[in-house]
A and B are shown apart, each in its own frame.
Chain A
């Protein structure tokens, strides 16, 4: 992938097979190539990319080295995957409401949940909306 600010230069996904016939004289009707930003980024100003490190969320399909799309404009609702600051580090976990407590829950049995009782400050960075896993 190119740098983010160059994202409009991403190679177009070929959505249509080659069509025979006359080229359209009306250039303004040419379809724009598909843009991954359109698919993955709803609020550009509030969207940040981060990199997942470790295995705490493998059960949710997030693997070591994946790029996560994080939208800060979204409200963290029960069951969302969020980025939160815990002990001066950022972590990606399931956001669970348990009565008045909040649970940051991993998707890997080898890791423990982190409980925030009412009144404890929990700093949410944003809500994860997509995970980009590259094979090569």
Chain B
């Protein structure tokens, strides 16, 4: 069985951990520069305000509906996401993070296990230990697990296990809700009479391959219960920007880990540029071989969260922020199994509101930046800087409704009376 765990209304749920006044209210988190709604509480959804609604359009009705808004706080969301992954590692041997709020889990349990009870235990632990409500779905394949998770999230228990014969469920699942089927593809499929997941699953595979792609044929197979999408599969299906690999042999040197992170970061940045997107931050993981010698760390995963100063697609900018953090999650003397990087807070560079003061066109300035970096390395950080960075930090991205960095900054800790 493969499980999919995801945080409900994740960004809003992160905000609620530290702010009880948001409970029961219509809350939305805004994109960078307070652009539009990117995460909504159930109460907010109930007002029929769609995802992506610009903030300025809602200003007039804030009082009327008692709306609450928060600027996106990726340092906080990244840290909570990191904690969720750490907890999942206590339940299963293999966790594959898919996005900031979703992870596939691979339990090493016999088929006759009560997966509903297992999922409930995971869910309850995440709620108590971290404070985020999650949905859990189990199924034989990733594509089916996505559907199971979707159903679980809407049920009162929050957990759903795909029955042995999923036909009834697939008949009720619109094809547009199948993992990997985008809006445009769904329209095309519907024009061919493929309306539900069941329609897609029962379609002739060579035909799907010929008329669409190998990927869609794989999706159809997955819906039939046949595993096609492997763990750590860097297939195009993956919409998140993440990269993780198990090492061929145990790695012990910090430099090797650092290099693996640099390689993943470069790869992810390339993908971001190709898709004209920028990332607001990243989580970095090292997975360790368990060692009983003396328990320096009980967990077999160490991780850290990095929030970039500005959303970026520039490898150098990313590594500049990531590199200083890596030492902090390196435990000397241990053997490492795997490393991983997940980028989050992805926004399309075209649609995102322009950040006037973001360092401009970093790529075109590659030569310039390397000179600047050299001078700064020689004479100290900040000797040369772009005016875009500002002489005071008052020109930061507009985040007027930002919550404190409760978990990543000593001077912004939650206050208790």
CA distance A32 to B84 in the complex (A): 28
* A24 at interface, CB cutoff 8 A: no
Given contacts A35-B296, A83-B416, contact A7 B328 (CB under 8 A): yes
Q: Classify chain B's interface size.
A: 35 or more
A residues near B86, Cβ cutoff 8 Å: 44-45
Assembled-state Cα–Cα distance A83/B129 (Å) = 13
The CA-CA distance from A49 to B18 in the complex, in Å, is 12
Q: Are B296 and A32 in contact (CB under 8 A)?
A: yes
- Give the size category of A's interface with B: 35 or more
Interface presence of B415 (CB below 8 A): yes
Stretch at the interface among B28-36, B51-59, B188-196, B329-337: B329-337
Asked whether any CB of chain A lies closer than 8 Å to the CB of B20, the reply is: yes
Min C-beta distance of A13 to chain B, whole Å: 15
A60 → chain B closest CB, angstroms: 13
A92 vs B333: C-alpha distance in the bound complex, in angstroms? 39
Q: Is B299 interfacial (CB 8 A cutoff)?
A: yes
Also in contact, A92 and B327, with CB within 8 A (given A45-B87, A73-B129): no
Chain B binding surface, main DSSP class: mixed
Known A-B contacts A32-B333, A44-B299; the reply to A50 vs B83 at CB < 8 A is: no
Q: With A3-B409, A4-B408 in contact, do A50 and B328 touch (Cβ < 8 Å)?
A: no
A residues in contact with B333, CB < 8 Å: 28, 30, 32
Q: Does B231 contact A (CB under 8 A)?
A: no
Secondary structure class of chain A's binding surface, majority of residues: mixed
Are A38 and B414 in touch, CB under 8 angstroms? no
B residues in contact with A7, CB < 8 Å:
328
Q: Mark contacts of B319-344 with chain A using CB atoms, 8 A cut-off: 1 yes-contact digit, 0 otherwise.
A: 00000010111111100000000000
Closest chain A CB from B14 CB (angstroms): 12
Contact at B417–A4, with CB atoms within 8 Å?
Answer: no
Q: How far is the CB of A72 from chain B (nearest CB, A)?
A: 5
- Name A residues whose Cβ lies closer than 8 Å to a Cβ of B: 1-9, 28, 30, 32, 35, 38, 42-46, 48-54, 56, 67-68, 72-73, 83, 85, 88-92, 123, 125
Q: What are 26 pairs between A and B in contact, CB < 8 Å?
A: A1-B410, A2-B328, A3-B408, A5-B304, A5-B329, A9-B327, A9-B328, A28-B333, A32-B296, A35-B296, A38-B297, A42-B298, A43-B129, A45-B83, A45-B87, A45-B299, A46-B128, A46-B130, A48-B407, A49-B410, A50-B416, A72-B128, A72-B130, A73-B128, A88-B20, A90-B20
